[in-house]
Amino acid sequence: MSVPAVHTVALKPLESATPTQIAAAIAALRTLGSLPGVKSFFVGETFTTARAHGFLYREAPNLAFYVLTNRFYHCSEIVSVFDSKESLAAYDVDPYHLAVIKEHVIPTFEPRIDVIDFEIRHPYVSEEGLDPNRSGVWHTVAWTAHSTTTPEEIIATRDALVALAAIPGCRRILFGESYSKQSPFTHQLVVELDKKETLPLYSNHPSHVSVVNQYLKPHFDLSGTFAMDFEFDSAILLRP
């Protein structure tokens, strides 16, 4: 049985990109959701909240914090789920995907694109169990594990994070080890919530706070956490 894979991409528009150009690029990116192997595909513009600012953030702000955060402000993000790692690899070289990159991504977005890919090796709510016409929010976070963190501690952290799906308003949680060569992070968490207002409730929930203190802080470097959030209005995005 194949193992599903998650593909996340962060794109920051060029300063010279016009609103019309950005809208056309987003529309073109949405059409990638109908390529072979894609189980679900979401595109949206990041928003700022009290918890996650739609860009890189640090617990102790400094000069590096401001340099990093400004790069991701008002950017677009993609979260997509593929039926396997192999399907994602085929998607990367699909002629239609490459054409969208050439015609819309390169002229519209900054050259540096942040990509994180990981396999889902835990039980989760699949796309088939959700309303395809739903709206909601994706909350994405990435960290780097300490060099001393053991595989057993990673699994314990994963299980604790996945259990947070019981928090009201949380639809599903996906977690895995990044295998993307473009990413400086070792692991990523993506959380689907029912609405924007649920994000601070999720972040401040006692269970979430406990997991951060008991698992994340001891086993991961949180000083360079990557966090982005965006709203979506449909889970089915068709290629014309």
Length, in residues, of the chain: 240
Does the pTM of the predicted model rise above 0.75? Answer: yes
Q: pLDDT tens-digit profile of 55-90? A: 333 333 333 332 333 334 456 788 999 999 999 999
Rounded to an integer, the average pLDDT of 165-173 is 97
Residue 240 confidence (pLDDT): 35
Q: How far apart are CA 88 and CA 90, in angstroms?
A: 5
CB 227, CB 140: distance < 8 Å: yes
Rounded to an integer, the average pLDDT of 201-223 is 96
Q: How far apart are CA 188 and CA 14, in angstroms?
A: 26
Rounded to an integer, the average pLDDT of 226-231 is 86
In the predicted structure, residue 202 carries a pLDDT above the cut 70: yes
Q: How far apart are CA 203 and CA 207, in angstroms?
A: 9
